[in-house]
Amino acid sequence: MALTGTVLRAQGGVYEIETEEGTVEASLRGRLKREERTGDKVVVGDRVELGRGSGSGAEAWTIEKVHDRHSILARKAPGKAPRPKVIVANVDQVLIVFAAANPAPHLRMLDRFLVIAEAGELRPLIVVNKTDVEGEEAARALFAPYERAGYRVIYTAAKRRVGIDALRDAICGQVSALAGPSGVGKSSLLNEVQPGLGLRVSAVSEAVNKGRHTTVTAQLIPLECGGYVADTPGLREVGLWEVDNDQLHFYFPEFAPFLGTCRYTSSCTHIHEPGCAIRAAVDEGAIGFGRYDSYRRMMLGVDDE
């Protein structure tokens, strides 16, 4: 008998897998086990084929086969390890949550998350919470450059249940990786979408952060309406290291209409060259100054964390 499922958790060689017949535990079949050197062979989010094992518990099922992944989130492996480490597979979108106020949004951090998502070909969805503090109009003004760049922004106030239906619609049936600083209201929002969900997600984060083994693991938390929230501690460490400087301008969608019109088309870094169309667009207000400043900082490796 074969069974297909999704890996929710992986720890110590035991994989928790959601299947049509409920959640089961499984271990790796001999051949897969021998190939499992990097820990990347089977990760959270993978779709797998299960076969009947010989024993009980985690031995009752074995993972026979891993389906191809349509996306991965990877982080730089610690130390000298040559390859990035995959932390979650098959993510559809990155849910990037900031507060409009309390704390004031760290827009340079948002720009980094957006570049990570763009480079990984993961759809970003920006959620701006706590619009009740200074009003939705002020929040919309602050995030207007992102809407102009083509990003979808959902404005919410978890405390007043504003924007919750839009958020629920956006995450149901999807695998969403959650990102954003603490204190912006991620747990509050998730609890409004589904009672208890935020609590589960923050329990995962804490358990992982306090774990003695510093391996960054992820977990998928099922949504009642279909889909999952992927809590991926360490998302901050994901991504930027793999973005080449000469690719960076492609990851700012609002630059697109101007690329190719700089005087030195093929070599312009948009930092100091004369006749740069990107900088001209910034001067004219067609590209937000803050967004360009983030680009410049990433190009020059200026860290503002």
The residues in 209-268 that bind Zn ion, with binding defined as CB under 5 A, are 262, 268
Cα torsion for 128, 132, 134, 139, to the nearest 10°?
Answer: 30
User: Least Å distance between CB 234 and Zn ion?
Assistant: 34
Nearer to ligand GDP, 141 or 300 (CB): 141
Is the CB of residue 272 less than 8 Å from the CB of residue 243? no
Select from Zn ion, ligand GDP, none the partner in contact with residue 268, using the beta carbon and a kind-dependent cut-off of 5 to 8 Å.
Zn ion
Site for ligand GDP contains 164 (CB under 6 A): no
**Whose CA is closest to 44, among 20, 80, 14?**
14
Site for ligand GDP contains 281 (CB under 6 A): no
Span interacting with ligand GDP, options 9-17, 125-133, 134-142, 210-218, rule CB under 6 A: 125-133
Near Zn ion by CB under 5 A: residue from 217, 270, 281, 298: 270
Q: Per-residue contact track with Zn ion, 272 to 291, x per CB under 5 A?
A: ----x-x-------------
Span interacting with ligand GDP, options 115-123, 152-160, 209-217, 292-300, rule CB under 6 A: 152-160
Near ligand GDP by CB under 6 A: residue from 184, 221, 282, 298: 184
Q: Is residue 2 classed exposed, middle or buried when 0-12, 13-18 and 19+ CB atoms within 10 A define those classes?
A: exposed
Neighbouring C-beta atoms of residue 41, cutoff 10 Å: 16
Near ligand GDP by CB under 6 A: residue from 188, 273, 293, 296: 188
Number of residues located near ligand GDP, criterion CB under 6 A: 15
Site for ligand GDP contains 187 (CB under 6 A): yes
Is the CB of residue 90 less than 8 Å from the CB of residue 40? no
Structure tokens at 236: 């901050």
Select from ligand GDP, Zn ion, none the partner in contact with residue 220, using the beta carbon and a kind-dependent cut-off of 5 to 8 Å.
none
CA 300 to chain centre: 24
Select from Zn ion, ligand GDP, none the partner in contact with residue 262, using the beta carbon and a kind-dependent cut-off of 5 to 8 Å.
Zn ion
Nearer to ligand GDP, 27 or 129 (CB): 129
User: Least Å distance between CB 270 and Zn ion?
Assistant: 4
Q: Give the footprint of Zn ion on this chain (CB under 5 A).
A: 262, 268, 270, 276, 278
Q: Give the footprint of ligand GDP on this chain (CB under 6 A).
A: 129-130, 132-133, 157-159, 182-188, 202
